[in-house]
Amino acid sequence: MALLELLNVDKSHGQTHVLRNASLAVEKGEFVAIVGFSGAGKSTIISLLSGLSRPDKGQVLWQGKPVEAPGPERGVVFQNYSLLPWLTTFENVYFAVDSVLASLPKEEKLRRTERYLAMVGLGHAHERKPAQLSGGMRQRVALARALAADPEVLLMDEPLSALDALTRASLQDEIERIGRVSGKTIVLVTNDVDEAILLADRIVPLSAGPAATFGPSSEVDIPRPRDRRALNHDPKFRALKAQITEFLLDSRQKRRSGRVEAPSEPLVQLVEVAS
Amino acid sequence: MESKSQMWIRRLAAVGLPVLGILVIIGLWAITSKTWATSLPTPWKTWEVSRSYVLDPFSKRGELDQGILRFTWYSLERVAQGYGLALLIGTPLGFLLGMSRFFQALFDPIVQILRPVSPLAWLPLGLVIFQQPGPAGLFTIAMCSMWPTVLNTALGVRSVPQDYLNVAKVLRLGRMKTLFKVMLPAALPYMFTGFRLSLGIAWLVIVAAEMLTGAPGVGGFLWQEYNALIYEHIILCIVTIGLVGFILDRMMGAIEQRLKVA
């Protein structure tokens, strides 16, 4: 039985049909990356998996049972960090620990907060408010907050899309390491094919919207730890990248020829490969 | 880069222009009192007559003959009570309106209708209800000053980002914890804008309340001195009321600014 599952899910926002007949099974311990265009409904998937929204049709299953509401066993790293601005870095993480692991002794909760802040390299910034942190640091806090609450699966909604390239690369390495060391189940949503291949065990492309659905998934058969510099010359990497890119561009082509009003959102990484 | 002389001119202007503005107004006042409104006391006469009230601000020579700051203190006490009452009622009411469409639909029209009612209209009703000038005054202050707190709190609660509420949901916070640990801090800057505006109104209303009830305070003193034909003291009271209101507003503004930065 899969740990977390979408079964023939349909979802609309107002008049827009976002997802149509989308199915996905995430196994325990797996790192799955969902790759798609901006606006294809990637955030909707995270929101469905977490339980923050409900499907119109079909089912969301957690260990075989329908998901009724969000819960700490499915931790979420939001795209825009969603830190509470009136709390310090330390307090933001402690707030989550204290809420989810309420029964632990206070000493233990404080230690836990410290440990996870150190894990994301923010041991020095305990007393700073989110407004005093860079985007990369904020996302590190958000990551520490999600991990410290000890979720069984980590759902990440384009966590790195708002960051500059260098920060992005260093946080990718961080996420890769944390995924490897903690052995947590991770679902990462991204619009960056390179990022998906660098990080994930398995990649599931999401076709262009509206009415997006999942394409055939591909295992990433590249041993860890993966070296981002060597990756570019790896024939497996290039083949995989070409295959996923082709699926995504194809799906958009079909959308456009089928429906004139379909949104066209350029995807920088994809366009580079195609040209 | 501005030169040193430019900088000095800028500093001089920052201090000098407001002083100049005050002098212009005092000049106009002096001309007015010398020409077409001769019963208006001149600036110099006003100072002469008010001097003992200003220079010995806490003296108490009789029930209605006290230093100006002692009167101010009485008024501030009364305002604090009425304003406290307004916050005590207005804040929860604002939360209710902000959180529930049902309460919004239920109460918003009545709030909009009661909001523009003048203190002069509330006070007689307060006297009818409470039969005593003290509580009637507090009732009037509360009824007039509550609305900015209600409306801004409701706006603040409605403006709590969905992201924060999502965080609360994922952490599975209870209703009370979501309210006090997430919604209240997120809405606090808006609430303080409401508190500041409410305090301004409460101070505005005190004069009317004291004038009508004859209670000792700046407003009561003003009305009594009008009746006693000591017009200089009316001006003294007006200046005092203005200065105190300005200081209160600045204090609240400073707190508000701190909350916005955080």
CB nearest B170 (choices: A75, A85, A129)? A75
Give A-chain residues touching B179 at CB under 8 angstroms. none
- Whether A264 shows a pLDDT value over 80: the answer reads no
Residue A37 near residue A267, CB atoms below 8 Å? yes
Task: Please provide the average confidence, as pLDDT, over all residues in chain A.
Answer: 87
Mean pLDDT for B143-165 is 93
Instruction: Name the pairing type of β-strands A202-205 and A16-26.
Output: unpaired
Closest by alpha carbon to A140, among A173, A108, A112? Answer: A173
Look at B95-109, B177-191, B213-227 and tell me which has the smallest mean pLDDT: B213-227
- pLDDT for residue A91 is more than 80: yes
Angle of CA points A141, A142, A147, to nearest 5°: 95
pLDDT (mean) for A197-205: 92
Does the pLDDT of residue B156 top 90, yes or no? yes
Our CA-based measurement puts residue A31 at a distance from the nearest CA of chain B, in whole angstroms, of 21
pLDDT for A153-168, tens place per residue? 999 998 888 888 888 8
Strand partners, A139: none
Q: ipTM for the complex?
A: 0.83
Residues listed for chain B = 262
Taking residues B80-89, what's their average pLDDT?
94
Contact at CB, A129 and B262, closer than 8 angstroms: yes
Position B21 confidence tier, pLDDT thresholds 50, 70, 90: very high
Q: Which pLDDT score, from 0 to 100, does residue A138 have?
A: 92
Smallest CA–CA distance from B188 into chain A, residue: A86
CA distance B200 to chain A (A): 27
d(CA A6, CA A187): 13
For residue A68, give Cα distances in angstroms to A46, A55, A62, A216, B181: 15, 11, 10, 28, 24
d(CA B23, CA B41): 17
Query: By CA distance, what is A94's nearest residue in B?
Result: B171
Whether the upstream peptide bond of residue A210 has omega within 30° of 0, thus cis, is yes
The whole-number average pLDDT for the span A253-269 is 58
d(CA A205, CA A33) in angstroms, rounded, equals: 8
Can you give the three-state secondary structure of B155-176, one letter per residue?
Answer: HHHHCCCHHHHHHHHHCCCCHH
CB contact under 8 A, A72 and B170: yes
Whether A3 contacts A196, CB under 8 Å: no
Higher pLDDT pick, B50 / A62: A62
A266 pLDDT tier (thresholds 50, 70, 90): very low
Q: What is the mean pLDDT of residues A115-129?
A: 89
Range name among A19-33, A41-55, A246-260 with the lowest pLDDT average: A246-260
Mean pLDDT computed over A29-35:
93
pTM here is: 0.79
pLDDT in tens, B185-244: 999 999 999 999 999 999 988 888 888 887 888 888 888 888 888 888 888 889 999 999
pLDDT band at residue B168 using 50, 70 and 90 as cut-offs: very high
Within 10 angstroms of residue A45's Cβ, the number of other Cβ atoms is 28
Angle formed by the axes of helices B133-158 and B68-99, nearest 10°: 40
Residue B184 pLDDT greater than 90, yes or no: yes
Tokens matching residue B223: 């009305």
Per DSSP (E only), the strands in chain B are: 60-62, 65-66
pLDDT of A79 over the 70 cut: yes
* CA–CA gap between residue A44 and residue A67 (Å, rounded): 15
pLDDT of residue A56: 93
Distance CA B135, CA A26 (A): 67
pLDDT band, very low/low/confident/very high, at A177 (cuts 50, 70, 90): confident
In angstroms, the CA A249 to CA A36 distance is 10
How many angstroms separate the CA of residue A58 from the nearest CA in chain B? 22
Hey, is B92 helix, strand or coil? Answer: helix
Q: Mean pLDDT throughout B126-153?
A: 91
Q: How far apart, in Å, are the Cα atoms of A107 and each of A91, A98, A128, A260? A: 14, 11, 21, 60
Residue B254 in 3-state DSSP? helix
The residue of chain B with its CA nearest to that of A100 is: B171
Rounded CA-CA distance B43/B88 in Å is: 42
Position B15 scores a pLDDT of: 86
* Secondary element (H or E) of residue B191: helix B184-213
CB A97 within 8 A of CB A112: yes
Please tell me the distance from the alpha carbon of residue A218 to that of residue A201, in angstroms, as a whole number.
9
Tokens 């002098």 belong to B23
- Which residue type is seen at A137? M
State mean pLDDT over A47-75: 92
Contact B262 A72 (CB under 8 A): no
pLDDT of A181 reads 84
Q: Which residue has better confidence, A84 or A254?
A: A84
**HEC profile of chain A:** CCCEEEEEEEEEECCEEEEEEEEEEECCCCEEEEECCCCCCHHHHHHHHHCCCCCCEEEEEECCEECCCCCCCEEEECCCCCCCCCCCHHHHHHHHHHHHCCCCCHHHHHHHHHHHHHHCCCCCCCCCCHHHCCHHHHHHHHHHHHHHCCCCEEEEECCCCCCCHHHHHHHHHHHHHHHHHHCCEEEEEECCHHHHHHHCCEEEEECCCCCECECCCEECCCCCCCCHHHHCCCHHHHHHHHHHHHHHHHHHHHHHHHCCCCCCCCCHHHHHHHC
The average confidence (pLDDT) of chain B is 88
Buried b (16+ CB within 10 A) or exposed e, A198-232: bbbbbbbbbbbbbbbbbbebbebebeeebeeeebe
Is A129 at the interface with chain B, CB within 8 A? yes
Which residue, among B204, B203, B223, has the nearest Cα to B213 in the 3D structure?
A: B223
Name which of A75, A83, A199, A198 is nearest A139 in CA terms: A83
Which residue in chain A has the smallest CA separation from B171? A72
Q: What is the mean pLDDT of residues A81-95?
A: 93
Specify the pLDDT at position B1: 59
Residue among A80, A86, A100 whose CB faces B171 most closely: A100
Alpha carbon distance A46, A53 (integer Å): 9
Structure confidence at residue A262 (pLDDT): 44
pLDDT of residue B2: 66
CA dihedral A263, A265, A266, A270 (to 10 degrees): -90
Task: Give the closest of A71, A86, A131 to B185, CB-based.
Answer: A86
